[in-house]
Structure 1
Amino acid sequence: MTVYSDDLVRIANHVVGSGTAVFAAYDAVVGSGMASRGIPQVCCGVLLVYTAGIFQDHLRRRDTRVVAYLSGSPDAPLSKISSSTGMNRDRVASSLQRLIADGLVVAETGPSALTRYYRLAS
């Protein structure tokens, strides 16, 4: 599965926010410089693995919604996929990029050079 930069920004924000909360809780309980840094590092490592798992599940669910729509409506433009699935255009575009890179979706140029239609690969 391919992960693009907009998805990495969202996961980084989640990790940084959660990591800050772990450090704050640790500092509140132990106090500055009172113990080794091993516990916060372990907590942040576990949190990173946990967040990555949640994030991958989120991407799979989002991609599944796009694939499900395309299975019933081949040759759909981005705007139609976005409105029918109720997802943001940028997120649908990110899912489509990932699905194209994985070989599950094919993009074709429409009547004008700016219009692209998407369908499932054969």
Structure 2
Amino acid sequence: MTIYSDDLVRITHWTSGLGACAFGVYDAVAGAGSDLHGLVMTYCGAVLVYTAGGFQDYLRRRDTRVVVHLAGNPGASLPQICAATGLHKDRVGSSLQRLTADGLVLSESGSTAISRSYRLTR
């Protein structure tokens, strides 16, 4: 299993969000702090958990932009995909890694990521 930096952000949001929710609920119920403090902490935790889902949607949209470009331009290189989608090379590279690991994209020729060409699997 490959873990990408994008996945680490999502996992961090989930774990810290759920932890903040748990501590907030404990604080509000046990009365260690003020009720308002516990509720605010619970709300902040819930927002972190919610943003993890939003971040996942962002990754899907970004991966879709890469797939759409490759559908019309098989054999495109990383710089070509970046220029066409307007995405930074690190983001496109991360999407290509994820799509390749999932078996949706094949990398062809080239020893470096920049010299490689990419196409959709059939």
TM-score of the two chains, using structure 1 as the length reference: 0.69
Structure 1 residue 64: Cα displacement: 0.4
Structure 1 residue 42: Cα displacement: 2.1
Alignment of 1:82 onto 2:82: yes
Aligned pairs, number: 103
Gaps of 5+ in 1: 17-32
Q: Aligned runs of 1:6-45 on 2, under 5 Å?
A: 6=6, 8-9=8-9, 33-35=33-35, 38-45=38-45
% identical aligned pairs:
58
CA distance in 1, matches of 2:101, 2:76: 18
Structure 1 residue 121: Cα displacement: 1.0
CA distance in 1, matches of 2:106, 2:66: 13
CA distance in 2, matches of 1:64, 1:108: 20
AA at the equivalent of 1:73: N
Conservation of the 8 A alpha-carbon contact between 1:81 and 1:92: yes
AA at the equivalent of 1:39: L
Conservation of the 8 A alpha-carbon contact between 1:82 and 1:92: yes
Equivalent position of 1:60 in the other structure: 60
Conservation of the 8 A alpha-carbon contact between 2:105 and 2:119: yes
Extract structure 1 runs of 4+ deviating beyond 3 A. 6-13, 33-38
Equivalent position of 1:30 in the other structure: none
Structure 1 residue 11: Cα displacement: 8.2
CA distance in 2, matches of 1:39, 1:56: 26
Conservation of the 8 A alpha-carbon contact between 1:11 and 1:51: no
Deviations 1:37-86 (A, max 9, x none): 64244213311221011101100110000000000000111011001111
Gaps of 5+ in 2: 17-32
Structure 2 CA distance for partners of 1:99 and 1:76, relative to 1, 3 Å: same
Deviations 1:62-117 (A, max 9, x none): 0000000000000111011001111111110011111111111111123xx33211
AA at the equivalent of 1:44: C
Q: Aligned runs of 1:101-116 on 2, under 5 Å?
A: 101-110=101-110, 113-114=111-112, 115-116=115-116
